[in-house]
Structure 1
Amino acid sequence: MGNRSQNPNRVYGVTEPISMAGPSESDMITNRELEKFLADAGLFESPEEAIRREEALARLDQIVKDWVKHVSRSKGLNEQVVEEMTALIFTSGSYRLGVHSPGADIDTLCVGPMHVTRNEDFFGELHRILVEMPDVQELNSVPDAYVPVMRFKLDGIPIDLLYASLPLPNIPEDLDISQDSILHNVDEQTVRILNGRRVTDEILNLVPNIQNFRTALRCLRLWAKRRGIYSNVAGFLGGVNWAILVARICQLYPNALPCTLVSRVFRVYNLWQWPNPVILCPIQEGSSNVWDPRRNRKDREHLMPIITPAYPCMNSSYNVSNSTLRIMMEEFRRGNEICEAIEANKAVWVTLFEPFAFFEAYKDYLQIDIKAQSGDDFRNWKGWVESRLRFLNSMIERYTGGILQCHPCPGDFSDECRPHCCSYFMGLRRKQGSSPEGGKQFDIRWIVDKFKHQVCQYSAWKATMWINVCHVRRKNIPVFVFSGGIRPSQRAKVAAQDCLGKRLPGNNFLHADDAGSRKRRKQVVVNRGVHLEEFSSLTSGTSTASLQIEAGEEEQSEAVIADTIRNKNYRKNMTNHDQEPEGSVKCRSPSCSNPKGASPVEKWVTDSSSGEIVGLSDMKTEVSGGTVENNSFQLSMTEQGVQIPVVGAGGRNSCSKSPQNEGLEELEVLSADISFF
């Protein structure tokens, strides 16, 4: 099952592989070291926990079947029909992919008949049933989320449950949701819900070796979590994003072992020129929801398109911002350098997975505290605020012209002494290479006010739900964020600063000769005229171009990878490169882009015969100088510094501290001004 060797001639993906070479003896040794590291890291659950998960899923299946019968009976259906009514449970996400770790939640999907509705019956009656069950804990419903979800623990197993009502009088036991016809006559929310399982299954169908894919994906998930870039809600990448990125590398190196796949993930994506999209199969047209930057203006604004393989193909990484993309590219560069050192026997795997010391990496931080009166209110309030934090990030960078950069820290931190309260943090720094003009700094108080106002528009907001935003210096970060409540030593601070660019990330173990060799290799890329913006990732089918790399050439340079991915021979057959696709709209005015006055001029290369997108040939940005303006908002440049007040939100339109805030002490703020050097 793990290796589809019965069809060795099948080509996976939209281009020919970069290399068909198999593993060498050295690769096998390195791979054993990687697998041992993963096992020692505790990534694999015990047989006992696996059995508990299966039992919890069986219990959940019986619960939803009984619930559908109960709802059907309450709506007047006769008893014979009621007894035949059923619902089905499907799994998706990491559990379905086979890469879940101990204690991870199970993403589940319940599919029910058309008379059992999502709002009234799922979030109403089923929620009431679960509340009364003693083995259900931490129940939290989020009906107004982009993907409505119910979260709870069943017999101690965390579960995320979605619901899709299909236009069918009953659900057959052999329902196949992989068929595109399942999407007929359903709303957009239902399409998104169903596609969770459909995308997962398609990913597994599009990789040449499932077991190697799983091992490599486990490795990348652990790396991303330790480096602080695993979070879709924070603007980084989530589970499905990482799965698609790894699956694409599996297609390009179909015979490689997981250790090689991990190395090539960093090598390829370190070179990748976003917003060229990553896709696993040809994009099937036929719906307005399909990702198509030729016709959809919003799709043109996506910074890091990672396209789902199931119809309708969508961008799974629409949350990525300029700041989070920059951070991830820095991490890809670091990972590539460390993997090169591992292949040269100058580093070990543990170096790659060293945690990022977030609270030692910056001088200034934003701290966002939230509080509610009860446990249920806190879980609801927390889920809502988490989904809004990325907008604060975007607003700050947008209205400062990208000069003030934010680094959101995934996850929350809690002080055991403060019940129903947690804190989020964002690192702040001035863009590298920029310097204050005449000592002028940014005043972002109104941005914080605007964010607080938006958060308090929560439909289920209560007077006891509170949010506070303040600026803290590194030395005043609360101790509860650190392991064991102990601040790290000065040595850790220096190491964290090195990761921010004072030295090349991961370069502390490389010799000068290695750095010079890498510099010369990059010069070769320039001399050969490699233009990575010519990547033809969006081909309408498999190209006739083929590049076979012998075993001795496996250590190819970045230039070879770039030449292969951009697929030169395919581009030679194309005409009218500078013509826009019929029906497309160029975004030339500032109102179509960001408030900096940036005007991207995009040239989408298309196949003249089929009209399919095959790549982004050119992207230019013209930035107007002067004051940053957008609609009625204007960013004021003050002499006092970056002004960030201590802001409380006790009401929807209040900037003052709420009277319901007793029990939550304000953290000490040294200064409301942040100076950047």
Structure 2
Amino acid sequence: MASSGLAKRGNGYLGVTEPISWSGPTEFDITKTHELEKYLADAGLYESQEEAVSREEVLGRLDQIVKVWVKKVSRAKGFNEQFVLEANAKIFTFGSYRLGVHGPGADIDTLCVGPRHATREEDFFTELHNMLAEMPEVTELHPVPDAHVPVMKFKFNGVSIDLLYAKLSLWVIPEDLDISQDSILQNADEQTVRSLNGCRVTDQILRLVPNIQNFRTTLRCLRFWAKRRGVYSNVAGFLGGINWALLVARICQLYPKALPSMLVSRFFRVYTQWRWPNPVMLCDIEEGTLGLPVWDPRKNYKDRLHQMPIITPAYPCMNSSYNVSSSTLRVMTEEFQRGHEICEEMEANKADWNKLFAPYPFFEAYKHYLEIDITAANEDDLRKWKGWVESRLRTLTLKIERHTFGMLQCHPHPGDFSDKSRPFHCCYFMGLQRKQGVPVNEGEQFDIRVTVEEFKHSVGMYTLWKPGMEIQVSHIKRRNVPSFVFPGGTRPSRPLKAAGSEGHTISKTKSSSLVLAGKPSDTLSGSCDTHMADDSSTRKQLAAGTPVGDQVVQGSERCSPITMTSSSASSLCTKEAEGSAINLVGNANGILNVTVESRKRKHVEDTDSNSIDAQRLAAHSAKLPESVGMAGSGIIAAVGPGNCTASLCSKEAEALAIKKITSGSPTNLASLPEGLDELELFEPQGQDKDFDGVAGGCSVVSSAAKDAPMQVGKLHDSSKNEGIEELEPAELSAPTFGGPTASSSNTQRKPLIRLRLSSVVKAADKSG
């Protein structure tokens, strides 16, 4: 089945809309691109020729191993020698290696495609695993068969390999197998479809960009930038490799003749203005003929809850960024804005690439942090425990958002740290701040004890738990951040400046408190009092590169931690499912549509009638057909081929075109509700009248409990591995596969936290 994006090649462009600009590079673009390429090379982002050859040898050796493996499996299952001779398996690559943007030491994402008689559980994770375990070249072999996308991780001659398995319905795998054909998915199980999706999406991206070399340089640049700014991590709720690839590919479609320096600038310009949750798409969504679920917020309730949809271009089209939360979206939006401002400065020769790639000072950006420490009995246990906890961390962000009605925002650090003085130890950090623009009231308090207990309970569901696997959660202030998180283990010195000199206020009378442990009255005051009024301004200063004046006091003073072992995890308070079905307006062929009348009205609002460029754009719009299908993207093409020539593509016209593309239609997804955790579903189980006591084996603390009843339900058993929440998902997999339909319940679930936020409590009472 041909992609609709590919079909449009005959119309002169790729993608769901026409390009914003067909302009070629200027002398400035050429110069800046050479500077960028040199910067990336100097930063060590390109592997050596020797390493490239080594990777090719490893892949060739791995392909030979799976061919031997499938013949061995065929013989063991009683097939005749002729069949054994013809039996075959094949290795494909995907991800950064297939895209050509991998760096030195990067993992190689690989897929083993096998015949129908070679099973995943018995043959791949047992027989092939045993073969690899016996090879001296293979080290750190770690199978994860229960993951959403089952994977076998190992190193082969020092090269890191992530190996997936896809069992096709074919008896014999041909050597020239083309997995881009939709027929390859016929009769495939869910794990196979998810595993194949990686290769299919990667290959489709390369087909849908107008210039692969410019795409690769731009993507390499943006990946490096995202890692430096701390927003590269799918598991932490930011974006992973495939997400950044799709975002960059869309910019390449919108500026098909631009060089990488201009593509980087336009990347920030476009996504700074993007109206999320309008989705980013490289081609139309195809329903397909196999009946597999695709991303469609009209039909799938959970699709309406996605904060930052970035849709994969291969059937079945899915949202690759379902991990993004409102907190991580906020962080990325601020970083897009910072990148845009620096690119503007670069065009005025007031900044260089060094400023764009400056590392984000995470431990100076906030006054308050959550520290999550994990320990294990040995190195092997720690590696397994760490992988499990990492896959759960983003649920802590979602729970805090939900339980505080978005008033307490989280910024998870995408990396982990280790205290070398403690054996088999690892820790993670989350920055905390109040939601911006909300007044701070006297004695305001966030009680997230139950939230943390829920998180620990979900972590405690680890089926491979062993003695020694422990987790501890603590609230710490900026001055008490441990020294081992800083380069060289030395805390950087910061100058003392007058309070308020950098534009943020410091208040002693109005404070917000955060409760993590102790009795309900034990707010973190005194040595651990929590004031969250100035974190937003602090973060903005750091994002802009401005130093923040706040004296750092050395010390290790902390608040009482919350410690648990998996074996002693308490039962969870259960919750009522929330949400009601929300209807979207759409036509039969696309997710959203907009009539030409609404488009003309938008032109009237956004266009200066005195502008020659604007008049030309308006004239172009008048020639459009009566209805403009949006192909599921919520996007309007403002300019078309030949209409954005050198004479027309002024900055004003380009700005108008970007606004049209990023704003979407009046029926976009922005009106959908926020806050429902797409990772966990709860079953309604009635009400508990004893709101100040124990419900479901867990103490419920709520300032709203006396005024309104609290819905109590039963939490799904996480050990059943339902949905994506149980184990770390692959970036290319779907959040659900044939997931539940929209809930018809209109009941709002009450927060299981202590909140002294009068406005929030009143809102909760009204919704209850």
- Please indicate the TM-score interval, normalised by the length of the shorter structure: 0.7 to 0.9
Q: Equivalent residue for 1:409?
A: 413
How do 1:112-127 and structure 2 match up within 5 A?
112-127=114-129
Residues 287-338 of structure 1 deviation map (CA, whole Å, 9 limit, x = unaligned): 3511000111111111100000000110000000000000000000000000
- Residue aligned with 1:423, SS: strand
Find the aligned partners of 1:551 and 1:591 in 2 and give their Cα distance.
47
Q: Pick from 169, 174, 194: which aligns with 1:167?
A: 169
Q: Helix, strand or coil: the match of 1:171?
A: coil
| Alignment TM-score, normalising by the size of structure 2 | 0.70
Secondary structure of the 1:426 match is strand
1:366-377 correspondence to structure 2 within 5 Å: 366-377=370-381
Paired position in structure 1 for 2:640: 546
Q: Which runs of 5+ in 2 are unaligned?
A: 1-5, 504-533, 548-603, 615-627, 681-706, 714-749, 758-768
Alignment of 1:488-507 (within 5 A): 488-490=492-494, 500-503=538-541, 505-506=543-544
Aligned to 1:561: 657
- For 1:594 and 1:367, locate their aligned partners in 2 and report how far apart those are by CA, in whole Å: 23
Equivalence map 1:119-138=2 (5 Å): 119-138=121-140
Tell me the secondary structure at the aligned position of residue 651 of structure 2: coil
Cα deviation per residue 1:331-376 (whole Å; 9 max; x = unaligned)?
Answer: 0000000001001111001100000011111111111111222332
Say if 1:18 and 1:564, in contact at 8 Å, map to a contact too: no
Output the TM-score relative to the length of structure 1: 0.79
Q: 2:442 aligns with which of 425, 438, 443?
A: 438
> Which range moved further: 412-421 or 482-491?
412-421
Supply the distance in 1 between the matched residues of 2:324 and 2:674 (Cα, whole angstroms). 23
Match of 1:635 in 2: 752
Q: Which residue in 2 is equivalent to 1:181?
A: 183
Distance verdict in 2 for CA 1:333–1:566, change over 3 Å: closer
Q: Mean alpha-carbon deviation: is it higher for 84-93 or for 131-140?
A: 131-140
C-alpha separation in 2, matches of 1:562 and 1:376: 50
Aligned to 1:334: 338
Instruction: Give the counterpart letter for 1:538 in structure 2.
Output: G
Does the CA contact (< 8 Å) of 2:637 and 2:657 recur in 1?
Answer: no
2:369 matched to 1:348?
A: no
Aligned residue in 2 for 1:33: 35
- Taking a change above 3 Å as real, the CA distance of residues 588 and 193 of structure 1, as seen in their structure-2 partners, is closer
Evaluate the alpha carbon distance shift between residue 344 and residue 482 of structure 1 in structure 2; reply closer, same or farther with a 3 A threshold: same
CA distance in 2, matches of 1:274, 1:535: 19
Identity percentage over the alignment?
Answer: 61
CA separation in 1, counterparts of 2:258 and 2:605? 24
Which consecutive residues of structure 1, in runs of 5 or more, have no partner in the other structure? 510-523, 572-576, 596-625, 641-677
Structure 2 residue aligned with 1:392: 396
Match of 1:289 in 2: 293
Contact 2:20–2:639 under 8 Å retained in 1: no
User: Is the 8 Å Cα contact of residues 403 and 430 (structure 1) preserved in structure 2?
Assistant: yes
> Which moved further from structure 2: 446-455 or 419-428?
419-428
Residue of structure 2 in register with 1:480 after alignment: 484
**Residue 325, structure 1, aligned to residue 329, structure 2:** yes
User: Structure 1 residue 232: deviation in Å?
Assistant: 0.5
**1:406/1:426 contact within 8 Å kept:** yes
1:562, CA displacement in angstroms?
Answer: 3.2
Equivalent in the alignment of 1:139: 141
The correspondence of residues 82-93 of structure 1 with structure 2, limited to 5 A, is 82-93=84-95
Match of 1:609 in 2: none
Task: Select between 345-354 and 135-144 the one with higher mean Cα deviation.
Answer: 135-144
Partner of 1:65: 67
Give secondary structure in 2 for the equivalent of 1:134: coil
Residue 463 (structure 2) pairs with residue 459 (structure 1): yes
Question: How far is the alpha carbon of 1:458 from its aligned partner?
Answer: 1.2
Relative distance call for 1:539 and 1:317 in structure 2 (3 A) is closer
TM-superposed deviation, 1:466: 1.6
Using the alignment, how far apart are the partners of 2:88 and 2:674 within structure 1?
Answer: 53
Distance in 2 (alpha carbons) for counterparts of 1:136 and 1:593: 38
Helix, strand or coil at the partner of 1:379: helix
Q: Which residue of 1 aligns with 2:387?
A: 383
SS in 2 for 1:339: helix
Partner of 1:418: 422
> What's the offset of the Cα at 1:535?
11
Q: Is the 8 A contact 1:334 1:504 kept in 2?
A: no
Counterpart code for 1:50: A
CA offsets 1:503-547 (integer angstroms, 9 cap, x no match): 4843769xxxxxxxxxxxxxx9978699xxx99573699979626
Cα distance in 2 for partners of 1:213, 1:492 equals 45
- Is the 8 Å Cα contact of residues 361 and 500 (structure 1) preserved in structure 2? yes
Over 3 Å counting, the alpha-carbon distance change for 1:590 and 1:549 in structure 2 is closer
1:75 counterpart (77, 87, 91): 77
Distance, in Å, in 2 between the alignment partners of 1:638 and 1:540 is 37
Q: For 2:242 and 2:193, how far apart are their aligned partners in 1? A: 16
Q: Is the contact between residue 93 and residue 200 of structure 1 (CA under 8 Å) also seen in structure 2? A: yes
What are the residue-to-residue correspondences of 1:96-245 with 2, within 5 Å?
Answer: 96-245=98-247
Counterparts of 1:293 and 1:264, CA distance in 2 = 28
Quote the offset at 1:492 in angstroms.
Answer: 12
**In the comparison of the two structures, how many residue pairs are matched?**
576
Task: State how far apart, in whole Å, the 2-side matches of 1:32 and 1:251 are.
Answer: 22
Q: 1:54 is matched with which residue: 34, 53, 56?
A: 56
Partner of 1:127, secondary structure, is: helix
> Which amino acid counterpart does residue 384 of structure 2 have in structure 1?
N
Structure 2 CA distance for partners of 1:112 and 1:288, relative to 1, 3 Å: closer
Task: Out of 37-46 and 473-482, give the one that drifted further.
Answer: 473-482
Shift of 1:565: 1.6
SS for the counterpart of 2:202 is helix
What is the aligned partner in structure 1 of residue 304 from structure 2?
Answer: 300
Counterpart secondary structure, 1:49: helix
The 1:492–1:49 alpha-carbon spacing in structure 2 relative to 1, beyond 3 Å, is farther
Alpha-carbon deviation of 1:32? 1.0
Q: 1:325 to 1:528 in 2, by over 3 A?
A: farther
> What is the CA RMSD across the aligned residues, in angstroms?
3.4
8 Å Cα contact 2:279/2:633 also seen in 1: no
- Over 3 Å counting, the alpha-carbon distance change for 1:383 and 1:458 in structure 2 is same
